[in-house]
A and B are shown apart, each in its own frame.
Chain A
Amino acid sequence: MIMGSQKPIDEIWAMVKDFNRVLVFGCNTCVAVCHAGGEKEAETIASLVRMRAQQEGRTMEVKHLGVMRHCEPEYFEPVMDEVKKYDLILSTACGVGVNFLSDRTGTIPVFPGINTSFFGSVEAPGFFKELCAGCGNCIVHLTGGLCPIARCSKTLMNGPCGGTNKGKCEVSNEIDCIWYLIVERMKKLGTLEKLSEIQPPRNWATSRDGGPRRISLEHLREYEEKEEKAQATGGKKQ
C-alpha cells in the first residue's frame, strides 16, 4: 500500500498560518495503516495546529474530518459541502488524494499534511518498507520475485555493483543489497542460471519517464456509459 509520514509541525504551521478556517482532512485507507494521515492522525494534527495558533496569538478555526478514501469521488462527495466551508484544506491523504481533491475544490487550496513516500509493506508494527516502484513493466519473474528497480539504489538490472559489503548496500549498512538477496533466493529456487542472461536496456516509458500514466479499461467504461444512458432514458439495466 501507499506509505507516508507526517510533515514536521513547523512545516505544517508555515503552510497554514495565514488561513482562518482550516480543515485537516484525513484518509482512512493506506495512510491510516502507516499512522500518518488517517482520521485519528488528522485529529492530532488539528490539535497541534490549534495549540500553535494559540501560542502565536492567531485566531483560527481548525477542524478535522476523515473519509474512507480520498481517491474516489463516492467517498468524499457526501462531505464536499462541509469541506467547502473552509478556506484551506490540509489533506493528510497521500499525494493522490491531494491532487484528486485539488481538481475538485474550485478556489479552495489543498495543501499536503504528509510526505507520500513509497509503495510498501507493513514489515512489523511501525516498520514499513518499500518493495515496488510502480515502474509499469514488472520483471520480478526474472529476479526471484524481488525487485531491483525498487530495492537497488542504482536500479541495476544485471546483477550487483561492486559496492555490496557483507550483504549490505554501499549507500548504508542498514539497507540490504537486493542483488545479494536475489542471488541467494535464486540459488534456493534452483534458478540462478537465469541471471546469466543479459537484460537489455529498459523501456522506461512505462515509468514516470513516459509522463503521467493512465489505465483505461474500455469494457468497463463502455458498460458504465451504457448504464448511464439507460438510466437517463428510463430504461432498464442490461
Chain B
Amino acid sequence: MKSGSNLEKVIASGKPAVTAELGPPMSADAHEVVKKAGILKGFCDAANITDCQTAVVRISSIAAAALAFQNGLEPVVQMTCRDRNRIAIQADLLGAAALGLKNCLCLAGDHQKFSAAGKLKGHPGAKNVYDLDTCQLVGVLKKMRDEGKQEGGDALEVAPRFFIGASWTPMADPVDFRPINLMKKVNAGADFIQTQGIYDIEGFRSQMEKIRNMGLHERTAILGGIIVPKSAMMLKYMDSSVAGVSVPKSLIDRMNKAKEAAGEDKKKARELQEQEGIRITVELIHQVLETPGVKGVHIQAIEWESAIEGIVKAAGLYPRPTFD
C-alpha cells in the first residue's frame, strides 16, 4: 500500500470504487462540514473536499478534510496550483499528512475570474500563482512520498504518504491530445484519476479505448465522473458552457419531459426533474462502470449531498466495502 487509505484499499480489492464530493461553506461554519460529512459517510469510499472551487473563498480543503475525517468520512484533499507556490503547497500537504489525511487530488484550479459569477463579487482581481502545473504537482507529491524529498531536494525525515490523484477531462479540446495528457499525469505518478462529468458515453468509451491501447488503465485507477443533473436548465448549461462536457439531446429531452409533466406546479416540476436526474445518474453509473478499464465512479451532487445515499443504493453499490 502506498498510503493505506480506504480509497486505495477499495481499488486494490478490485471492487468498483465510489467517491463523492463535499463542498465546504463560504464561512467559518464547521457545523455545515460536519453535517455534510454525516450525510455522505457510509455511502462513498472517500469524498473530495473542494479547494475553493470556481475560485470562491471557502473553508480550506485541508481544514474541512480534517473535520470530515474526525467525523468518520475519509476525505480526498484537493490541492490546486492556483493559490499557492511550491513552498506553500508542500507545507500545507505536510500538515495534511500530519493530520492523518491520506488522499490528495492535484488540480490546476479554476481561474479566479470565475469567482465573480452569478451574484457573487468574488476576487477576480486576485493574483494567481501557478508556480507548478498539475503534472508537476503530481511529481512533487510522488517525490515527497517515494523518495522522501522535498521538491528542492531536502530530505523529509517523515514522508507524507499520499494516494495521489489527478483529474482528466477526456473530451475537452484538443480531443486527440487528451490521452497524452492523461499519460503524462500517470507517468508523473497519479495513482488514481477522476474524470470530468460524463454524459456522452460514446465519446467517453472511444477515449477509453485509446487509454486501454496505451495500457494506462492498468497503471492508474480511472474513476468516471458523474455530475448529478438537477434540472433541464442545468443540463443545457453544462452542454453549452462547461468545457469538455457535451450532453446528448436525448437526456435534455427526458429532463424537459419531466419538467413539463408537472404543468404549472413549480415545486412538482423541481421534484420530477430531480427524480429523473437521479434515474439518469444511476444509468450513467452503470454505463461508466461497464466501460472496460474503469475502476469506479466519482459522483458529484453539487450542493445536493443528500442525493448520494439514494443514488448509491439504487446503483447497487451499497453497502460499501469495509476493511479491518
> For residues 196 through 234 of chain A, which have their beta carbon under 8 Å from a beta carbon of chain B?
196, 198-202, 204
Contact yes or no, B244 A159, CB < 8 A: no
Interface status of B180 (Cβ within 8 A of chain A): yes
Contact yes or no, B172 A164, CB < 8 A: yes
Contact yes or no, B173 A177, CB < 8 A: yes
Interface status of A180 (Cβ within 8 A of chain B): yes
A165 to B172, CA, bound (A): 7
A129 to B241, CA, bound (A): 26
Which of B81, B132, B181, B196 lies in contact with A160, CB distance below 8 A?
Answer: B181
Say which one of B108-116, B249-257, B300-308 lies at the interface with A: B108-116
Which of B109, B111, B132 lies in contact with A201, CB distance below 8 A?
Answer: B132
Given known contacts A196-B180, A196-B183, A201 and B130 CB-to-CB distance under 8 angstroms: no
Contact yes or no, A198 B139, CB < 8 A: yes
A183 to B175, CA, bound (A): 10
Which interface class (under 10, 10 to 19, 20 to 34, 35 or more) fits A? 20 to 34
A161 to B180, CA, bound (A): 13
> For residues 60 through 98 of chain B, which have their beta carbon under 8 Å from a beta carbon of chain A?
81-82, 86
Interface status of B128 (Cβ within 8 A of chain A): yes
Interface status of B237 (Cβ within 8 A of chain A): no
A155 to B131, CA, bound (A): 8
Which of B82, B113, B184 lies in contact with A171, CB distance below 8 A?
Answer: B113
Q: Which residue of chain A has the shortest Cβ distance to B138 in the bound complex?
A: A198
In the bound complex, residues from chain A placing their C-beta under 8 Å from that of B176 are 183
Q: Which residue of chain A has the shortest Cβ distance to B133 in the bound complex?
A: A156
Closest CB in chain B relative to A166 CB, distance in Å: 6
How many of chain B's residues have a CB under 8 angstroms from any CB in A? Answer: 38
Q: Mark B130-169, 1 if CB is under 8 A from A, else 0.
A: 1111111001100000000001000000000000000111
Which of B81, B108, B136, B243 lies in contact with A165, CB distance below 8 A?
Answer: B243
Contact yes or no, B86 A161, CB < 8 A: no
Contact yes or no, B136 A170, CB < 8 A: no
In the bound complex, residues from chain B placing their C-beta under 8 Å from that of A167 are 173-174
In the bound complex, residues from chain B placing their C-beta under 8 Å from that of A170 are 110-111, 114, 243
Interface status of A157 (Cβ within 8 A of chain B): yes
Interface status of A109 (Cβ within 8 A of chain B): no
In the bound complex, residues from chain A placing their C-beta under 8 Å from that of B108 are 154, 156, 161-163
A204 to B172, CA, bound (A): 29
In the bound complex, residues from chain B placing their C-beta under 8 Å from that of A162 are 108, 167-169, 172, 196, 243-244
A42 to B244, CA, bound (A): 48
A179 to B167, CA, bound (A): 17
Contact yes or no, A154 B173, CB < 8 A: no
In the bound complex, residues from chain A placing their C-beta under 8 Å from that of B180 are 159, 192, 195-196
Contact yes or no, A154 B111, CB < 8 A: yes
A179 to B241, CA, bound (A): 19
Given known contacts A158-B135, A160-B174, A164-B243, A196 and B184 CB-to-CB distance under 8 angstroms: yes
In the bound complex, residues from chain B placing their C-beta under 8 Å from that of A192 are 177, 180
Given known contacts A198-B184, A201-B151, A159 and B135 CB-to-CB distance under 8 angstroms: yes
Other A-B pairs beyond A161-B108, A183-B177, 12, CB < 8 Å: A154-B82, A158-B134, A158-B136, A163-B111, A163-B172, A164-B243, A172-B113, A183-B174, A198-B184, A198-B188, A201-B131, A201-B139
